[in-house]
């Protein structure tokens, strides 16, 4: 059985499912490598319009696999740094994927599972989902995921949950910005979001995602970017379709 299941439909929606339910989709070296490769490949494919990231079984992801952590504890500092860099590359690849990424969270999302959610563009969680940045309870810190988590929840919430290791609810995750929507019908909510994404120009969505990632938005930068979009083939098609009261080409 593969640890990662990848399915796609005729619309270009790809489902990436963590498939280690016996260990609550905790990730090890193999899953880290598979996820990195999957998102690198999908990000380059023109036919991919959206990616849904989910977990099989009771949990979204419980973070790091205990056996992997035990192996890491037996390694020296240099080897641990190499492992951490591979993990960082996985999160960075998901975070910067030019395709919109939707996270569907059920059950537990702890440690690195919170990191995965933080790297998604939009996150929907079931009301019963539980979150936690519990690394300090193991004498560790959420170092590799910190850039992505802090960017999502802000320093104030990070100062609490990085330090206390408390579990928190889906409602609290929504309040602090980690989750965008709490819905008992996870798949139905995801389907509505996919429909919304498919209504947008795929190139424009990639540009919009990159715009959000800009560290400093200046007038010159934003003017340059909108000018390029207006002059693009996709931008011209979108405006023409709006004026003609028809669907744009990417929706046909």
Confidence of residue 1 (pLDDT cuts 50, 70, 90): low
Bridge partner list, 132: 110, 167
Pairing of strands 101-105, 50-55: parallel
* Under 8 Å between Cβ of 107 and 24: yes
Catalytic positions are: 135
The answer for residues whose C-beta is within 8 angstroms of residue 110's C-beta and 6 or more apart is 61, 62, 63, 130, 131, 132, 133, 134, 167
In the block, tokens 């952590």 appear at: 69
Q: Is the pLDDT of residue 244 over 80?
A: yes
Q: Is the pLDDT of residue 54 over 90?
A: yes
* Under 8 Å between Cβ of 48 and 85: no
CA atoms within 13 A on the CB side of 199: 8
Confidence of residue 117 (pLDDT cuts 50, 70, 90): very high
pLDDT digits (tens, 9 = 90+) for 166-190: 999 999 999 999 999 999 999 999 9
């Amino acid at each position: 059985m593969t640890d990662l299941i990848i399915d796609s439909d005729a619309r270009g929606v790809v489902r990436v499912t963590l498939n280690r339910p016996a260990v609550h989709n905790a990730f090890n070296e193999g899953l880290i490598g598979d996820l990195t490769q999957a998102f690198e490949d999908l990000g380059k494919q023109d036919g991919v319009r959206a990616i849904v990231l989910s977990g099989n079984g009771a949990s979204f992801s419980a973070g790091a696999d205990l056996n992997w952590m035990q192996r890491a504890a037996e390694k020296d500092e240099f080897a641990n740094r190499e492992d951490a860099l591979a993990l960082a590359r996985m999160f960075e690849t998901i975070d910067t994927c030019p395709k919109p990424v939707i996270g569907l969270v059920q059950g537990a999302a702890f440690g690195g599972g919170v990191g995965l959610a933080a790297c998604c563009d939009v996150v929907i969680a079931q009301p019963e989902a539980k979150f936690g940045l519990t690394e300090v309870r193991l004498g560790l810190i959420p170092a590799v995921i910190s850039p992505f988590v802090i960017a999502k929840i802000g320093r104030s919430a990070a100062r609490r949950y990085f330090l206390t290791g408390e579990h928190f609810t889906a409602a609290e995750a929504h309040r602090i910005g980690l989750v965008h929507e709490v819905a008992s019908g996870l798949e139905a909510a995801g389907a509505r979001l996919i429909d919304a994404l498919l209504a947008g120009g795929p190139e424009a969505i990639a540009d919009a995602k990159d715009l959000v990632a800009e560290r400093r938005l200046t007038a010159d930068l934003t003017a340059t970017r909108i000018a390029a979009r207006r002059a693009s083939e996709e931008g011209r098609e979108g405006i023409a379709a709006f004026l003609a009261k028809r669907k744009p080409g990417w929706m046909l």
